């Protein structure tokens, strides 16, 4: 993952802009950070383990006109200062920050070089240094030799420029009022710039103090169109909440309403007619977005009678002979930058098949790659654990299914207006806090909610928990159930009520405790219950996940962790 931010200016001390850019990028990784700059023609580097504030302490009063910065999510090598970026070539002449993975880095190692870190990036820095010619040619030649993904910003000793290259990792550039900035995410440009340029794969760029000059893979100068930033929702603050995650959970009703009004406003230009001709749909995504795809596929099957299937992007990439021309491939991703999802979208594009991106970030790489875009309007999501983006994905896929089936959306509007968040009762929280072993169980759409509930609890409270299909319990997991086990049973489909009751009985017979999450009565005894508001079944995946999000958040806080920045994770997974 990782985030890079680089800047150059004759007018101002660029260090502040680069550091404040890194702070906005720390959702991409926060294991360590670093900055490289030019001081009296010499390349210098400062690094710190942990958050950007640790770096800030080390660079107080530092001034420079050219700097490259990095915030790291460790892939190759432990979290340490040596493995932090920037990395410098052995001869001291090339300094590099990198987002991505160089897959063939072991093969690219040189016997003449002593490597100080365990990273692929240090190998890349040395590879560039070993090439012949001017800086841009060196960078181009090195990029030809590497396999993998990269967005890099490079300093060359003796050159007052920053050199950029990109393949499969995002990189954008903005130029205004004597400041030139490059970043992994355009939100970094929000305060100072009106427009920016987004680099495409295998393009290069040279930043000087006045301008950005773009080149194609052959080193030929190219002109690029700029993207205007005025309509983009950059600004995210905690709105008086202590954590982004809590704020984002609470924002869900607003986000759902916004999504409704965006799709049903007169300005909405999306042509659903074009999409109706597809008979088959294949969803592809990772993590939470994969869960929303499972619900989306159910909507397409049940509401439209279409054939729909779902794959994890990391698996779909390596499947053989599964492609069909008559199928629409739907890639769902909050960030639109997830490496596995992007790789699948590219694979489908290369085959000439049609694809649809469902994303929450305008101008993301996935939107660029796909034929159609179905935006979700959740607003910027900062917390690593996805909440409002998930419910907006489900809601958007429901609208999509209703439109494809030519069905009325009146009940969708009513839901959008009526949906509210209910707090968890204190007694429910105290009950849940007693357990360390928690299983989430559900059938049909509630099975998906059980997967998502378990993912949230793992992600931020670090509890070893599982989501299980109700009917599968007796095929193995029941062996783990004892008096110390909590089973959270999600039951929102009246047609499956008896089946869920069986499941609950099986747990109770083994001494396990049960928390039931449902909007209706069941004929079994349970230890605790969360009563959900009663909506039409199609909306229940949105309704029933909210208490599970709150449960995970409260558990995380009770254990003293920061929900916004869970260990080992990052918001945007731009590596395989
Ligand atoms: C969500 O809570 C997780 N952090 C993770 O599973 C995430 O959904 C996954 O990485 C996919 O991200 P995307 O939606 O940006 O593609």
pLDDT (tens, 9 = 90+) of the chain, 576 residues, equals 689 999 999 988 999 999 999 998 887 888 899 999 999 889 999 999 998 999 999 999 899 999 999 999 887 788 898 899 999 999 999 999 999 989 999 999 999 999 999 999 999 999 999 999 999 999 999 999 999 989 999 999 999 999 999 998 889 999 998 999 999 988 899 878 999 999 999 999 999 999 999 999 999 999 999 888 865 555 567 778 899 999 999 999 999 998 998 888 766 656 778 888 898 999 999 999 999 999 999 999 999 999 999 999 999 988 877 667 789 999 999 999 999 999 999 999 998 999 999 999 988 899 999 999 999 999 989 999 999 999 999 999 999 999 999 888 889 999 999 999 999 999 999 999 999 999 999 999 999 999 999 999 999 999 999 999 999 998 998 999 999 999 999 999 999 999 999 999 999 999 999 999 999 999 999 999 999 999 999 999 999 999 999 999 999 999 999 999 898 888 777 767
Is the four-CA dihedral 265, 271, 273, 279 of positive or negative sign? negative
Q: Which residue is listed with tokens 């193995």? A: 476
Given this model, what pLDDT does residue 501 score? 96
**Atom 6, ligand 1: which residue's CA is nearest?**
287
Q: Is 217 a catalytic residue?
A: no
Rounded Cα distance between 218 and 132, Å, is 16
Domains and CATH numbers, the chain: 3-231 (3.60.20.10), 244-418 (3.40.50.10490), 426-558 (3.40.50.10490)
Using the 8-state DSSP alphabet, how is residue 425 labeled?
P
Q: In 3D, which of 364, 365, 389, 363 has the Cα closest to residue 377?
A: 389
Name the packing angle between helices 410-418 and 252-264 (round to 10°): 150
Extract the runs of DSSP E, i.e. beta strands, from 50-190. Answer: 66-72, 87-88, 94-102, 148-156, 162-167, 172-176, 179-183
User: Cα 460 to chain center, whole Å?
Assistant: 15
Which residues does a 6 A CB cutoff place in the pocket of ligand 1? Answer: 286-289, 333-335, 338, 341, 384-386, 459, 572-573
Given this model, what pLDDT does residue 502 score? 94
Q: Torsion angle, CA of 526/530/531/533, rounded to 10 degrees?
A: -150
Residue 351 in tokens: 């085959």
Atom in ligand 1 nearest the alpha carbon of residue 455: 2
Extract the runs of DSSP E, i.e. beta strands, from 235-306. Answer: 280-285
Q: Which residues contact 415 (CB under 8 A, 6 or more apart)?
A: 256, 535, 536, 539
* Number of neighbours of residue 16 by Cβ within 10 angstroms: 15
Beta strand 203-207 with 437-442 is unpaired
Using the 8-state DSSP alphabet, how is residue 127 labeled?
H
Given this model, what pLDDT does residue 190 score? 80
- Ligand 1: centre distance to CA 404 (Å): 27
- Is the pTM higher than 0.75? The answer reads yes
Q: Is 571 a catalytic residue?
A: yes
Determine contact, residues 424/547, Cβ cutoff 8 Å. Answer: yes
**Atom 3, ligand 1: which residue's CA is nearest?**
385
Extract the runs of DSSP E, i.e. beta strands, from 17-125. Answer: 32-39, 42-49, 66-72, 87-88, 94-102
How far apart, in Å, are the Cα atoms of 477 and each of 439, 489, 510? 9, 14, 12
Three-state SS at 35 = strand
């Amino acid at each position: 993952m990782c985030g890079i931010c680089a800047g150059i200016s004759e007018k101002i001390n660029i260090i502040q802009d680069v550091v404040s850019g890194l702070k906005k990028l720390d959702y991409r990784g926060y294991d360590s950070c670093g900055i490289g700059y030019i001081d009296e023609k010499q390349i210098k580097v400062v690094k710190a383990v942990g958050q950007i504030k640790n770096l800030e302490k080390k660079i107080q009063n530092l001034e420079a006109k050219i700097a490259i910065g990095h915030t790291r999510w460790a892939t190759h090598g432990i979290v340490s200062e040596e493995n932090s970026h920037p990395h410098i070539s052995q001869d001291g002449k090339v300094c590099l920050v990198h987002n991505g993975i160089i897959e063939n880095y072991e093969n690219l190692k040189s016997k003449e070089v002593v490597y100080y870190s365990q990273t692929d990036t240090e190998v890349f820095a040395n590879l560039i240094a070993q090439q012949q010619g001017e800086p841009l040619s060196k960078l181009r030649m090195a990029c030809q030799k590497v396999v993998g993904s990269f967005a890099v910003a490079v300093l060359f000793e003796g050159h007052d420029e920053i050199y950029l290259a990109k393949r499969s990792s995002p990189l954008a550039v903005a130029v205004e009022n004597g400041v030139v900035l490059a970043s992994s995410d355009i939100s970094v440009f929000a305060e100072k710039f009106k427009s920016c340029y987004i680099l495409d794969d295998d393009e290069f760029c040279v930043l000087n103090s006045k301008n950005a000059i773009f080149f194609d893979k052959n080193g030929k100068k190219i002109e690029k169109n700029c993207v205007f930033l005025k309509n983009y929702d950059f600004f995210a603050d905690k709105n008086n909440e202590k954590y982004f995650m809590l704020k984002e959970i609470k924002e869900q009703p607003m986000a759902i309403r916004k999504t409704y009004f965006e799709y049903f406003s007169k300005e909405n230009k999306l042509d659903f007619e074009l999409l109706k001709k597809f008979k088959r749909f294949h969803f592809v995504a990772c993590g939470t977005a994969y869960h929303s795809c499972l619900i989306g596929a159910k909507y397409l099957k049940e509401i439209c009678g279409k054939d729909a299937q779902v794959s994890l992007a990391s698996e779909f990439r390596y499947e053989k002979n599964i492609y069909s021309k008559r199928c629409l491939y739907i890639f769902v991703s909050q960030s639109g930058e997830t490496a596995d999802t992007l790789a699948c979208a590219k694979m489908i594009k290369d085959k000439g098949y049609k694809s649809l991106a469902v994303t929450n970030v305008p101008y993301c790489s996935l939107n660029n790659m796909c034929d159609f875009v179905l935006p979700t309007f959740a607003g910027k999501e900062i917390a690593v654990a996805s909440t409002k983006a998930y419910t907006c994905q489900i809601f958007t896929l429901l609208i999509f299914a209703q439109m494809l089936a030519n069905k009325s959306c009146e009940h969708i509007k009513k839901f959008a207006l009526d949906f509210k968040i209910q707090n968890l009762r204190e007694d429910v929280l105290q009950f849940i806090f007693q357990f360390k072993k928690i299983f989430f169980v559900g059938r049909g759409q509630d099975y998906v909610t059980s997967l998502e509930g378990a993912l949230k609890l793992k992600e931020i409270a670090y509890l070893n928990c599982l989501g299980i299909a109700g009917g599968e319990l007796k095929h193995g997991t029941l062996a783990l159930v004892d008096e110390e086990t909590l089973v959270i049973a999600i039951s929102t489909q009246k047609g499956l009520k008896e089946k869920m009751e069986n499941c609950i009985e099986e747990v109770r017979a083994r001494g396990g405790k049960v928390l039931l999450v449902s909007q209706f009565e069941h004929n079994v005894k349970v230890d605790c219950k969360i009563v959900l508001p009663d909506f039409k079944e199609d909306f229940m995946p949105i309704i029933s996940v909210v208490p599970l999000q709150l449960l995970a958040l409260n558990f995380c806080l009770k254990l003293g962790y920061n929900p916004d920045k869970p260990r080992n994770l990052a918001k945007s997974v731009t590596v395989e």
